[in-house]
Amino acid sequence: MENKIIQQILQAAVQAPSGDNVQPWKIEVSENLTQLKLINLPEKDNSIYNYEQMASYIAHGAAIENIVIASGQLGYKADLELFPDDNNPNVVAKISLLHGVKNEEPLFPAIFERHTNRFFYKKVKISEDTKQSLTAEIEKIRGASLLLVDQPSKIDQLAKCLMVNDRLVFENKQIHQFLFNMIRWSKQQVEDTLDGMPVDVMGVNVMEKMVFPFFRFWSFVKFNNYLGLSRFIGLKSWWNMKNSPLIGVVSVEGKDKVAFVQGGRAAQRCWLQITKEGLAFQPIIGLPLLINRLRFNNLDLLSHDQQRHVERAATTLIQTLNLSSDANTMIMGFRAGLCAKPKVRTKRKSVDSFISGNIHTQ
C-alpha cells in the first residue's frame, strides 16, 4: 500500500470523537502497511463514565467506522476482527486492509466536518427522508437500532431525563473535576494540548462565558448549588432539548465490550449522516453510560440522591422508548436540528503521535 493512502486512512481514524476529546488510542501499523491494530489506552480516561472502558470502546468504534469508510473511499476493504488477542485486552481491533474496488463513500467528507453543537437549535421539522436515511445508516451495523422522536410531548419527556447528566456535572465532584480538567481556556492552551474542549464549544452565551471560568472551582460550585446552580444548568439543558426538532437514541444488542464497539460504530454513522444532511448535532452519552453502570449495580460513586436521579431517568427512557432493558444497551442519545456552525471546534493530535510502525508521516 502506498504511504500516502495509509496516511489518509489514519488521518480519518483519529478524527473520531471520544469522551471529552481524550483520544484514548494508539495505532500499530504493520511493515507492509496493510494491517492496523487499534489499541486502547485505559489511562487516558479515568472518568466515572468509563466503567470497564465502556466509553473508550464507543470511541474506538467510531474510529473503526472512520477507517472502514475511508478505506472504501480509497479503494480498500477493511476486514475487521474485534478483540483478537486474548492475552492483551487492550487490543480492540485488528484491521486488514485488502485491495478492492474504489467506491464513492458519501459519508467520507463528513468525517472531517463532524462536530458537536451545544447551542440552541431552530425548531424546524426534520424531513422524513432525513429520518429514513439515519435509520438506513444505523442498520448497516449488525445489532444496532435507532429510535427517533419528533412529537413535542415525547421530546419534553425525554428532555427531562437527558438533562440529568448536566445536573450531575455540577453535583458530583468527580464528574465535575474530570470535565473541567479537559476544558481548554485559551487559544494557546488549545494549541499546546491538542485535546480536550475549547471553552468556546461549551454552548455558553456571552454573559455566561464571563462567569464560566469560576465553575472550575468546586468550592464555588458547591456554594452556588445552595442557590440553585445545578438546577439552573439542568433547566437550560432541558430547554435546549425540549425545543429541538428531533431527539434520537442509538442502542445495540448485548452489553459486553463488543456491543459497545459496535454501538460506537453505529453512533458514528448516525453522526456522520446528520453532518452530511447539514444539520447540527449534540451527542448525549454520559447518561446512557451511567444507566449502564446502574445495570451492573455500580453507581456507588454517586450519592443516594444522584443514584435516584439516574434510576428515574432510566425507567422513563425505557418506558417512553419501549426499550428492552435486558437485551439492548443504550449507547447514545442525541438532539439534531438547524443551527449556525460554531466558530471553534475541538483539535486533534497529529497522526504520528498515535502510531507505531514503518510509516512516514508528513
pTM here is: 0.96
Among the residues of the chain, which ranges form H helices? Answer: 3-13, 54-73, 108-113, 128-138, 152-162, 164-169, 173-181, 187-193, 206-211, 218-225, 229-242, 257-276, 286-295, 304-321
Q: Which residues have a Cβ under 8 Å from the Cβ of 276 and sit 6 or more positions away?
A: 106, 107, 109, 110
Gap between the Cα atoms of 82 and 39, Å rounded: 11
The domain limits of the chain are: 3-113+349-357, 128-337
Q: Give me the pLDDT at residue 144, please.
A: 96
What amino acid is encoded at 67 in this protein?
I
The pLDDT assigned to 322 comes to 81
Q: What pLDDT is recorded for position 361? A: 46
Rounded CA-CA distance 104/72 in Å is 7
Q: Give the three cell numbers for residue 254.
A: 448485548
Cell of 111: 468525517
Q: To which H or E segment does residue 33 belong?
A: none
Strands 183-184 and 197-198, how do they pair?
A: parallel
DSSP class of residue 88? -
Fold agreement (3-113+349-357, 128-337): yes
pLDDT for position 303: 96
Cα separation, 85 vs 4, in Å, equals: 29
- C-alpha to C-alpha distance for 209 and 344, rounded to whole angstroms: 14
CA–CA separation, 198 vs 191, rounded Å? 10
Cα gap 276→272, rounded to integer Å: 6
d(CA 250, CA 239): 22
- Look at residue 42 and give its three-state secondary structure: helix
Q: Which CATH architecture has domain 3-113+349-357?
A: 3-Layer(aba) Sandwich (3.40)
CATH assignment of 128-337, given 1.10.10, 3.10.150, 3.30.160, 3.40.109?
3.40.109
Give me Rg for the CA atoms of the chain.
20
Which one-letter DSSP state was computed for residue 151? -
pLDDT tens, the chain, 362 aa long: 788 999 999 999 999 999 999 999 999 999 999 999 999 999 999 999 999 999 999 999 999 999 999 999 999 999 999 999 999 999 999 999 998 878 889 999 999 999 999 999 998 999 999 999 999 999 999 999 999 999 999 999 999 999 999 999 999 999 999 999 999 999 999 999 999 999 999 999 888 989 999 999 999 999 999 999 999 999 999 999 999 999 999 999 999 999 999 999 999 999 999 999 999 999 999 999 999 999 889 999 999 999 999 999 999 998 888 876 677 899 999 999 999 999 999 999 999 999 876 555 44
